[in-house]
Chains A and B, each alone.
Chain A
Amino acid sequence: MTAVGLSAPRRSSLDVVLRARELGIVIALAVLVLVTAISNSRFLSGQSIRDILLNTAILAVLAVGQAVVVITRNIDLSVGSVLGLSAFTVGTLLQGNNLPVVLALLVGAGVGVVCGALNGVLVRYGNVPALVVTLGTLYVVRGVTYFWAGGSQINADELPSGFLDFGNATLIGIPYLVLLAVLVLVVTGVVLRSYRMGRELYAMGSSPHAARLAGIPVGRRTVGAFVVSGGLAGLAGVLFAARFGTIDAAAGTGYELNVVAAVVVGGVAVFGGSGTVWGAALGALLLTTIGSALAVLEINQFWQQAIVGALILLAIGADRLVATRVAASLKKRGSHVS
């Protein structure tokens, strides 16, 4: 029994747990939308929904990348800084140049991939915990952006209209940004769920030692996870630039905490090995919707952060409760021998 997680009875109960986790967020989201919509019908207007989706798109892309890293029992605190560097790089490149949007996306993702590779290599070859490495690169990357940008700011009127259109245009009513985020989500989700490479990330998170014994190239996968997280943070930087049009060196400051919050609320365990990118994306949607709901309900916006904090505590508490229950029931049933 080397791979207990793959044996049939365990697998099915694990599935139930995972489904329950995401079900919780869906219910919370439904209640929130319902209550808000009843007290103010403006909440379900097209414009309001569009704003929520656009803001979720950026956070969700970051959360998907973060989930990949967290599943391997690592963390990437540098994503906010990488988003800033990517947004400023793309903004500078596009200033007065009418380059194709695809090129901007590639450049942004490329900037992110370089940062992610740096994180991954430091974690892998330096034997340094990810928390320390990415705390360091959070400062370094932000510092580089400030150094480069100084006090300057790129405004919407300096960006080509094609790029700004990309930030606002829709395809059959759905914004491009949202489509792109869904694409990222589906591809990552399918790879994590159904491909060997994806399953290996979970194995690493459950037990790095066992994963190594099982012949999983832990080092390469770790670097890979950071590259994905960095690349997606870079991509999010381009989306940020397209959506807001105004970029300065502080773009994305403090985002790392929102992203980690979305992932944790979405049911990805901080100690790795479990959770899905769907959950992380739902977490991002929930956090963004809370922000809009508070505004519509005319509740003091200052409550938002407190609610986010309470949600994180609630989510990890509930997660713990479910985990203990499952462990207890497995023990009782005696359905597996380890």
Chain B
Amino acid sequence: MSAELTATRAARFANWNVAIIAITVVVLIVAAATVDNFGTSQNFGFLVLDVLPIAIIALPMTLVIVTGEIDLSVASTLGLSSAVMGYLWNANQPIETIIPLCLLLGAVLGAVNGFFVTVLGLPSLAVTIGTLALYRGLAFVVLGDSAVADFPPAYTNWVTGTIGSSPIPNVLIIIVVLAVVFGVVLHATPIGRAVFAVGASEQAARFAGVRPGRLKFWLYVASGLVSGLAGVLWTLRYSSARADNGAGLELAVVAAVLLGGVSIFGGKGALPGVIAGVVLLGSLQNALRLSDVSNEALNVVTGVLLIASVLGPNLANRLRRT
């Protein structure tokens, strides 16, 4: 009885979700206390802009991974959305038409992934490695290796600007709104319960009346849509549409999600942990950069964190058992 009690208590203690949030808070406090300029409002703005694409793409990615699938094509969708934005802007289309079109494009690209994974029943890892190459290739076909700049200042300024005279960046609104939407969907609706059910056992979920295929299809659409949005925001932030925008970002997104305690096998995970994972990754990189640690050394930190985040709970469990 008491052993059982200790075990559950230990399990609760081992909850990576709580741990990662605690670690993130500690890192933020230590960084603010020891790193010059980390705590400034200006740096806060940079930090938010830097994590923006990872933060929003990680939200649908969390749901996709919880169902036991993966989407490696997100960064290429971002790039293709950015390239099309540049192409249409060069063709003198109004920005008010371009932005919805790019979002639609993202959704369509996501639907293509969804079609291959759910209708044809192909493994998502292979499918999205394929579309990773395909979408990035199409981005280069659309825009070549040129860059399109001079987007309307009203839009670029909004993306890099802050709310009124406060230090809160405008784009934080987008992050918060999306986080709330995905958080509510995952943790407070039947859709969210279906996501966890499918991840735990697709067979059982089907018996319980869930349609795993349809669910996954729409999750891929959501993933594409958000990646398309990330492409638009990326383009406006740097005022530069390029086919190689966001190249390699898919790995950072997956790293942030796994760091946030989502199981790569599906069925387990929570959005607060993922948001903490994104903040942890972003603020560590920001703090180390401010301390003149090279960008490349940050890669080591990211990698070690990623492995530790999965290895840690496993080892803790094993030690407790012995």
Contact = CB atoms under 8 A, between A and B. Distances in A.
Interface of A: 75, 122, 126-129, 131-133, 135-144, 146-147, 150, 249, 254, 257, 260-261, 264, 270-271, 300, 302-313, 316-317, 320
B312 to A, nearest CB: 10
B309 to A, nearest CB: 9
Given A132-B258, A146-B296, A306-B141, 20 more contacts: A129-B310, A131-B70, A136-B307, A139-B255, A139-B306, A140-B299, A142-B296, A143-B301, A144-B300, A146-B294, A147-B296, A257-B132, A302-B145, A303-B141, A309-B134, A310-B130, A310-B134, A313-B127, A316-B130, A317-B120
A148 B274 CA distance: 32
Given A146-B297, A264-B129, A312-B129, A132 B306 contact: yes
Give 5 closest A-B pairs by Cβ, nearest first.
A309-B134, A306-B137, A146-B296, A139-B303, A305-B137
Nearest to A129: B264
B248 interface: yes
B131 interface: yes
Interface centre among A131, A136, A310, by most chain B C-beta atoms within 10 angstroms, is A136
Contacts of A75: 125
B307 A302 contact: no
B294 A147 contact: yes
A305 B136 contact: yes
Given A136-B307, A317-B122, A320-B121, A312 B254 contact: no
A198 to B, nearest CB: 23
B135 A143 contact: no
Nearest to A300: B141
Contacts of B310: 126, 128-129, 132-133
Nearest to B112: A313
B301 to A, nearest CB: 8
Interface of B: 70, 116, 120-123, 125-127, 129-138, 140-141, 144-145, 243, 248, 251, 254-255, 258, 264-265, 294, 296-304, 306-307, 310-311, 314-315
A308 B137 CA distance: 9
B122 A257 contact: no
Q: Could you tell me the dominant secondary structure of chain A's interface residues?
A: helix
A306 B311 contact: no
B311 A140 contact: no
A315 to B, nearest CB: 8
Nearest to B258: A132
Given A303-B141, A307-B137, A313 B299 contact: no
A260 B129 contact: yes
Nearest to A260: B129
15 contacts: A122-B311, A126-B311, A126-B315, A127-B314, A128-B310, A132-B306, A138-B251, A139-B299, A140-B300, A142-B299, A143-B302, A306-B140, A308-B133, A309-B131, A320-B120
A143 B296 contact: yes
A139 B133 contact: no
A150 B296 CA distance: 9
B194 to A, nearest CB: 24
Contacts of B303: 135-141, 143
A316 B307 contact: no
Contacts of B126: 264, 270, 312, 316
A147 B140 CA distance: 31
Given A308-B133, A312-B126, A135 B251 contact: yes
A286 to B, nearest CB: 14
A305 B247 CA distance: 13
Contacts of A308: 133-134, 137
B254 A135 contact: yes
Contacts of B134: 305-306, 308-310, 312-313
Nearest to A133: B307
A257 B264 contact: no
A270 B296 contact: no
Nearest to A321: B120
B307 A132 contact: yes
A271 B123 contact: yes
Given A270-B126, A313-B116, A137 B294 contact: no
B236 to A, nearest CB: 24
B133 A302 contact: no
Given A135-B251, A146-B299, A309 B135 contact: yes
Contacts of B141: 300, 302-303, 306
Contact of B131 (A122, A132, A144, A313): A313
A147 B294 CA distance: 8
Contacts of A136: 255, 303-304, 306-307
Contact of B265 (A129, A142, A146, A307): A129
A309 B132 contact: yes
Contact of A306 (B122, B138, B264): B138
B140 to A, nearest CB: 4
A147 B297 contact: yes
A270 B123 contact: yes
Nearest to A249: B296
Nearest to B70: A131
A242 B184 CA distance: 55
Given A131-B264, A136-B307, A313-B116, A257 B129 contact: yes
A146 B297 CA distance: 7
Contacts of A257: 129, 132-133
Given A264-B126, A317-B122, A143 B298 contact: yes
Contacts of A144: 300
Contacts of B243: 302
A136 B310 CA distance: 10
Nearest to B298: A143
